[in-house]
Structure 1
């Protein structure tokens, strides 16, 4: 695991994101696929997003990205889908003709967080935290009912 940092924090925030072309048309081939890859690299670099792994398939994009904590996954996908759609349609007339409504990508996306430890490990870690003075230790969550 590799932590990233800036002057105010240290983090490891990774997302697995997937989105598809509208109507699942298999238009991401050859030059279009290559340009899609290059555009996504540029967009991510401009937002300080590190692409851990990614693949452009004929009808969808899969990416595993490491993002700064202030960048919400919805905003990240909005930047990537919006800019890439505009640029690809401007550069490839066949896409503009096929997607006359200006939408290259289907609505929505899939996103899951990817972590080094699972939820149970974090819960156990928090539960085992001890303070020198037991009076300073308090739980944020409501106690479970018997």
Structure 2
């Protein structure tokens, strides 16, 4: 991916992010899996975050994203997990009472993509998605 630019900044801030549903429940399948993917894409567009690669597995989500430098990773993840929870519960109200109003677990894993190639991260995410698909 080429460097992006803001009015006075050239940037390439790519991250590999992994986050899980509360209690790592294997709930991300069927219609919910499709909705989660659509919701994440929509919310990323709102914040102008580019999704390079992504996979919604049965018990976790992988994202390779380019986040503009004016947005911190923690702010973006708070926004993504908070808004997506509301949107998921709007579409699937039966899930709301299960985990005390929280759909996602509190933490997440993030690493800056720098010393490895984009292709290596995309291959890893694809392999995780294939593995998850085989388990389904």
Same fold (TM over 0.5): yes
Query: How many residue pairs are counted as aligned between the two chains?
Result: 116
1:17 matched residue in structure 2: 17
State the shift of 1:116 in Å: 5.3
In the TM superposition, what is the alpha-carbon distance from 1:52 to its structure 2 partner? 0.3
Superposed CA offset, 1:16-52 (max 9, x none): 1111111111111111111101110011111110000
Residue 90 of structure 2 aligns with which residue?
A: 90
1:44-63 matched pairs, under 5 angstroms? 44-63=44-63
Query: Comparing both structures, which one devotes a greater share of its residues to helix?
Result: 2
CA distance in 2, matches of 1:85, 1:28: 13
The match for 2:79 is 79
Q: Within 1, Cα distance between the matches of 2:16 and 2:104? A: 17
Please tell me the root mean square deviation across aligned C-alpha atoms, in Å. Answer: 1.3
Runs of 4+ in 1 over 2 A off after TM superposition: none
Give the CA deviation at 1:59: 1.1
- Residue equivalent to 1:102: 101
Distance in 1 of aligned mates of 2:115 and 2:43: 26
> When the two structures are superposed, what TM-score results if normalisation uses the length of structure 1?
0.75
Larger Rg: 1 or 2?
1
Gaps of 5+ in 1: 118-146
Distance across 2 between alignment mates of 1:63 and 1:76: 12
Write the distance in 2 (CA, Å) between the matches of 1:32 and 1:60. 13
Distance 1:14 1:107 in 2: 22
